[in-house]
Amino acid sequence: MQIIKNIFTSLLIALSLFGCTKKEGLQNLAATEFQSELKSAEPGQILDVRTSDEYANGHIEGAILADVTSDAFQNAVANLDKSKTVYVYCLSGGRSSAAAGQLQEMGFKSVVNLTGGMLAWQSANLPVSTQEGVAKRTEGMTVADFNNQIKGKKLVIVDYNATWCGPCKQLSPVLEAWIKAQNGQVELIKIDVDENQELAKAKQIESIPYLEFYKDGKMIDKQIGMGDAASMTKQWSKTLL
């Protein structure tokens, strides 16, 4: 009987230790899971690591601006409690992943990153807050506007990108060179997701770079992210030509 009691006690201790440490480390959560976790977030522990313009255009309630590309990130982090969970997000997940890595290196034990960033958050129709007194920028192109732009065109590649997106900048010259080589057969349309958030939300774009391929106004394929130039251009030719 004593042996059974000892085993039971050991299990309780193990479960207790697990419960205390299960949130340590880095967690990558989808939008709805991230929102659920925020209910237990401490004030000041939610970081929006985008630019000030992006933040002003709409952010998660309770988040503080901590642009990971500027001194604002270090200044914000200096005021955080390393013993408590930190929540980070950006537009699509790239910058927040980098920020999460930095936070771990700084000694933060528990970091939660929003997979897909604000694009995923908005696609899930979750609430967005705006700074008081800051004019909300235009949502840009609507779905109707987009459809009108595509209508009647034979072959089109739509490139969804953002000025801060490193992979987008790597993809751009490869894509533009391929388009030029087609001698006018294929049209390229570039759309900045920051400036056209209504369209990005409607299309449920959660990651960039993102390409769409159209024939006679109908989407026939898409590409998320990027690979090596030779493989991509071969696939583009196979898809459209």
- The string of pLDDT tens digits covering residues 220-240 is 999 999 999 999 999 999 999
Q: Is 125 exposed, middle or buried (0-12, 13-18, 19+ CB in 10 A)?
A: exposed
Question: In this predicted model, what pLDDT tens digit does every residue of 156-166 receive, in sequence order?
Answer: 999 999 888 99
As annotated, the active-site residues are: 165, 168
Whether 23-123 shares its CATH topology with 143-240 is answered no
The chain-wide mean pLDDT, for the chain, equals 86
Other beta carbons within 10 Å of 140: 17
Question: What is the domain partition of the chain in residue ranges?
Answer: 23-123, 143-240
Measured distance CA(93)–CA(99) in Å, rounded: 10
CB 117 within 8 A of CB 89: yes
Q: What is the pLDDT of residue 19?
A: 34
Reply yes or no on whether the pLDDT at 4 is more than 80.
no
Question: In this predicted model, what pLDDT tens digit does every residue of 117-150 receive, in sequence order?
Answer: 999 999 999 999 986 433 444 568 889 989 988 9
Mean pLDDT of 63-80: 88
Look-up of token digits 């930190």 = 86
Measured distance CA(7)–CA(182) in Å, rounded: 72
- Residue 221, helix vs strand vs coil: strand
Q: What is the pLDDT of residue 197?
A: 85
How would residue 15 be classed by pLDDT, with cut points 50, 70 and 90? very low
Q: Omega into 127 within 30° of 0, i.e. cis?
A: no
User: Which percentage of the chain shows pLDDT scores above 90?
Assistant: 66
- Residue 111, helix vs strand vs coil: strand
Mean pLDDT of 19-47: 83
Question: Rounded to the nearest 10 degrees, how much is the dihedral formed by the CA atoms of 33, 91, 205, 35?
Answer: 20
Question: Rounded to the nearest 10 degrees, how much is the dihedral formed by the CA atoms of 229, 235, 236, 241?
Answer: 140
Reply yes or no on whether the pLDDT at 100 is more than 80.
yes
User: Taken in order 152, 153, 157, 158, is the CA torsion positive or negative?
Assistant: negative
Q: Per-residue DSSP letters for 52-65?
A: HHHHHH-B-TT-EE
Measured distance CA(240)–CA(119) in Å, rounded: 28
Mean pLDDT of 14-25: 44
Write down the pTM of the prediction: 0.62
Q: What is the pLDDT of residue 212?
A: 97
Measured distance CA(99)–CA(13) in Å, rounded: 34
- Listed in sequence order, the residues at least 6 apart from 174 whose beta carbon sits closer than 8 Å to its beta carbon are 229, 232, 233
Give me the helix-helix angle, 229-240 and 166-181, nearest 10°: 50
Going by C-alpha positions, the residue among 154, 134, 143 that lies closest to residue 196 is 143
Q: What is the pLDDT of residue 12?
A: 40
CB 59 within 8 A of CB 96: no
Q: What is the pLDDT of residue 183?
A: 94
Task: Domain 23-123: give its CATH code.
Answer: 3.40.250.10
Among the four given CATH numbers 3.30.70.100, 3.40.50.1000, 3.40.50.261, 3.40.30.10, the one describing domain 143-240? 3.40.30.10
How would residue 24 be classed by pLDDT, with cut points 50, 70 and 90? low
Q: Which two tokens stand for residue 11?
A: 């299990």
